Amino acid sequence: MQVGPFDDESADLPTVGITNLGNTCFVGASLQALFGAPVVYNAIRALGAGDNDVIIIGDSWAHGVHSLTEQMSAATTAVSPNELLAALVQDWLDNGRQCYHRGHQMDASEFIQRCVERITPLQQLITFTMQQISNEQPPPDPVDGYVFLPVPVLSGFSLQALVHYEYAWPGHQPQIVLTSMPGVLVVALKRFVLDDGRVKKDSSRIVDVDSLLIYNANNETTARYSLEGVVHHIGATAHAGHYTAE
C-alpha cells in the first residue's frame, strides 16, 4: 500500500508480467506486487544513476532486480527472471547468503524481506518503527527496521478495522502504534495459525482493502494509504502452493 499523493504516480508502470520458471512464482508475484507502487518501481529503475551508483555496483541482488525492471519497461510480452535468479545464486556464492536454490520455492514474504534488506532505496521507502505503549509502565524505546505490518484475519472484518484494533485502539492495552510512517506499507495477513499443535491456513475473507488509515495513540489519523498490489498464496499449507499477484 502506498501513502499519497506522490509526484511520480503518473509514471509509466510495467504492463507485462514475469514468467514462472518452475518454482519461481514467489519471485514474480512479490516483485509485481511491489512494482504496483510507482514510487517503488521508479526507485528500482533509478539504481545505478547518479548518487545511486554505489548501491548497485558489486551488489548482484540489486543489479538483478534493476535489470528486471529495465527488461519489463521495454518488453511487450512477459519477461524471464533468469538474470535475477542467476544473480541470487551468485550472491549466495559470493557472500554465503543462502536464498535461492533452483527448483525450490521460497516464501514470498521472506523474499520481500531480503529485497528490502539488500536494496537501500527499498529500506528507505518500506521500513518503519513501532512502539508498545502501556498505562502501567514507561514505554520502551521504539523498535525500527520493521518491513511488514502483521495483521490477524477475522472473517467479514475490513482491513481498516483489523489494523485499527490491533495497532491503535483507545483502551486496548498494551497498545502498539506506528511511530514512523513508511512511504510504502507492506501488510501481512497472518493466515497460518497454530490449531491443536498443527499449523493450518485460515482462508477467511476480509473486506474493503482498497485504502487504509493509520491512527496514532490518540486515535488521530496520521497517514492514508491506497492499495497498489497484492500477493496471493494459493494452497492449503505453508509448505506448498502457488503465488500470484494483482
Could you please report the per-residue DSSP string of 145-194?
EE-EEEEE--TT-BHHHHHHHHH--TT-SSEEEESS--SB-EEEEE-EEE
Lookup result for grid cell 514462472? 20
For the ranges 7-16, 55-64, 91-100, 119-128, the maximum mean pLDDT occurs at 119-128
pLDDT band at 231; cut points 50, 70, 90: very high
**Cα atoms found within 13 Å of the Cα of residue 179, Cβ hemisphere only:** 14
**What is the pTM (predicted TM-score) of this model?**
0.84
* Averaged pLDDT, 156-172: 76
Which residue type occupies 99? C
Average pLDDT, stretch 148-174?
77
Mean pLDDT of 130-157: 76
DSSP H stretches of helix in 36-170: 38-45, 53-56, 60-74, 82-95, 108-118, 120-126, 159-167
Count of C-beta atoms within a 10 Å radius of residue 94: 12
N-terminal to C-terminal alpha carbon distance within the chain: 12
Q: Are 108 and 29 in contact (CB under 8 A)?
A: yes
How does pLDDT run across 82-137, given as a tens digit for each residue?
A: 888 887 777 766 666 556 666 667 788 888 988 898 888 899 999 988 877 766 66
For the ranges 52-61, 104-113, 205-214, the lowest mean pLDDT is seen at 52-61
Burial of 136 (0-12, 13-18, 19+ CB in 10 A): exposed
Looking at the predicted structure, is the pLDDT value of residue 81 above 70?
yes
